[in-house]
Amino acid sequence: MKKIILIISLIISTLFVKAQDYVLYGMTQYSLFSYDITTGMYSVCDNVSNPVYSSLMQASNGLLYGLENESLFSFDPKTNNLNVVYTFAGGVFGQSPGGKPLQAKDGYLYGMTTMGGVANNGVIYRFDPLSGKDTTLLEFNSKNGSEPEGYFMQDSISGLLYAMTEQGGISTSSSDGVLLSFDPKTYKDSVIMSFIPKSGNRPEGSVMQAKNRIIYGMCGSGGKNNDGTLFSYDPVSGKETLLLNFNDTNGAVPFYGVLLEASNGLLYGMTPNGGKLNGGYGDGVIFAYNAFTGKDSVVYEFDSIHGAQPYGSLIEDTANGLFYGLTELGGYYNAGVLFSFDPKTGKDSVLVNFKVGAGAPLGELLLLRINPPAGIDELASNNSGMQVFPSPFNTSTTIVFSEAGKHYLELDDITGRQLEEIECNGKQYELQRNNLAPGIYFIKAFDQEHDYLVTTKIVVE
């Protein structure tokens, strides 16, 4: 009976691994990187210069687009070639682009710069990926917004683009920011909401549209406790609603992030500050918000070891049910981490510890479906840094490293969910089966500095 179960498990698992070849792409302050969820392999794809809070997006031509310094670049995930496609020259052409471009339904890429234009309040630009031509469509004049640091989202029905600016508007201080819409057909903009300190102001992130068509966003300051707010806007009724006041304990000062509507129907977000640790001056939180009940809850608190100060957003891999994100600081080198989070168990796992001079990411990740891997057996045969025998095994198996010393092992199931972390010394380590069910598992090995070495598979009978 066990052999039948194992054979079935092998067949299903092999198909599952091939169907789950997903790769995360993102940027640190120094490089564009990839992380293969299946193999656990982290790779630097190319160097980038000062992307600040920029993130990546994929256009219909298959290329990724992002922003660095004063340039818009494209990146081909198939060839790893990065090309600068446009350089912002300042003035009416805009300066200091932020966020990431959005490809609208018309095929053009739309984005914003924080500076440039006649009044130096920033511009809205449009880039044609076919011709390489960039066009300035609107110059901010303070009243209609100033210094946008986020990116656009497009209404699924009206086709209007929505975004926020950190400053500008027609409030008393005229510097608290706005929520705006922009029509890509007529180039006309409308100020929907001028933020005020009482209900939240100075938004530096972006808005998202949920399945119910309601638009949600966050302000980095203001509100009852001056820790920022969460709000909604109904594009049909025009109603604006203050939903949540952050109060240090439940999070504080959300910056560049945008909310995630997860497959379980809840909205998830991150704040770089807050939490109950250190008396409310923690390293940031992951929070959940139920739009139906109006209740929020902190589902995870960062503790420096597992990352600190997450400025970006979460993404969801619906295949394995995990969230992925980045923190600017914390981790082994205090230069940020790439992590996964299980919303069912509340467990956080550090996948990559960025090194000083190579980390400090502020943006968000992009999840891509890449060509299926060669297969489980081929993956296992390419592990010169570590050998495992016997496999399959029933009671225990021996792991032999190419060099003696301290190593760290991570045991994952077939979905990539981390089951155990192990610290071992010497040339080899005996892994006990314990309560592992029959099936396929993966072991990731890291050196004493927590740098990734290799991944191999093991089979439990």
Q: Are residue 28 and residue 160 in the same domain, yes or no?
A: yes
Residue 316 has pLDDT above 80, yes or no: yes
CB 137 within 8 A of CB 125: yes
Q: Are residue 223 and residue 351 in the same domain, yes or no?
A: yes
Rounded to an integer, the average pLDDT of 248-260 is: 94
Across 11-25, 72-86, 164-178, 368-382, least confident range? 368-382
Q: Are residue 67 and residue 140 in the same domain, yes or no?
A: yes
Q: Are residue 168 and residue 186 in the same domain, yes or no?
A: yes
Per-residue pLDDT tens for 275-296? 988 766 789 999 999 999 999 9
Rounded to an integer, the average pLDDT of 64-90 is: 95
Mean per-residue pLDDT over the chain, rounded: 89
Q: Are residue 356 and residue 379 in the same domain, yes or no?
A: no
Residue 3 has pLDDT above 80, yes or no: no
Query: What is the model's pLDDT at position 6?
Result: 46
Residue 18 has pLDDT above 50, yes or no: no
Q: Are residue 185 and residue 292 in the same domain, yes or no?
A: yes
DSSP 191-254: EEEE-BGGGBB---S--EE-TTS-EEEEESB-STTSS-EEEEE-TTT--EEEEEE--BTTBB--
Query: What is the model's pLDDT at position 266?
Result: 98
Rounded to an integer, the average pLDDT of 390-418 is: 85
Residue 96 in domain: yes
Confidence of residue 447 (pLDDT cuts 50, 70, 90): confident
CB 306 within 8 A of CB 350: yes
Query: What is the model's pLDDT at position 9?
Result: 47
Q: C-alpha dihedral over 404, 409, 411, 414, to 10 degrees?
A: -80
Burial of 370 (0-12, 13-18, 19+ CB in 10 A): middle
Q: Are residue 237 and residue 358 in the same domain, yes or no?
A: yes
Write out the H or E segment, with its range, that includes residue 76.
strand 71-76
Domain boundary, last residue among 328, 351, 369: 369
Q: Are residue 144 and residue 31 in the same domain, yes or no?
A: yes
Rounded CA separation 271/309 (Å): 7
Q: Are residue 217 and residue 171 in the same domain, yes or no?
A: yes
Domain boundary, last residue among 327, 352, 369: 369
pLDDT above 70 covers what percent of the chain?
A: 90
CB 222 within 8 A of CB 200: yes
Residue 383 in domain: yes
Closest CA to 122 of 143, 93, 99: 93
Per-residue pLDDT tens for 46-64? 999 878 678 999 999 999 9
Rounded to an integer, the average pLDDT of 184-204 is: 95
Query: What is the model's pLDDT at position 358?
Result: 92
Residues 6+ apart with CB under 8 A from 168: 121, 140, 142, 143, 144, 145, 146, 147, 174, 175, 177, 178
Residue 16 in domain: no
Residue 208 in domain: yes
Residue 399 β-bridge partners:
388, 429
Per-residue pLDDT tens for 25-48? 999 999 999 999 988 999 999 999
Q: Are residue 422 and residue 281 in the same domain, yes or no?
A: no
Rounded CA separation 451/445 (Å): 9
Residue 245 in domain: yes
Domain boundary, last residue among 321, 351, 369: 369
How many distinct structural domains can be found in the chain? Answer: 2
Q: Are residue 80 and residue 129 in the same domain, yes or no?
A: yes
Residue 290 in domain: yes
Rounded CA separation 191/169 (Å): 8
Q: What's the farthest any 2 CA atoms get from each other in the chain?
A: 76
CATH of the domain at 31: 2.120.10.80
Residue 421 has pLDDT above 50, yes or no: yes
Q: Is 379 helix (H, G, I), strand (E, B) or coil?
A: helix
**Domain carrying residue 456:** 2-11+375-460
Residue 17 in domain: no
Per-residue pLDDT tens for 84-130? 999 999 999 999 999 999 999 999 999 999 999 999 999 999 999 99
Q: Are residue 125 and residue 147 in the same domain, yes or no?
A: yes
CATH of the domain at 447: 2.60.40.3080
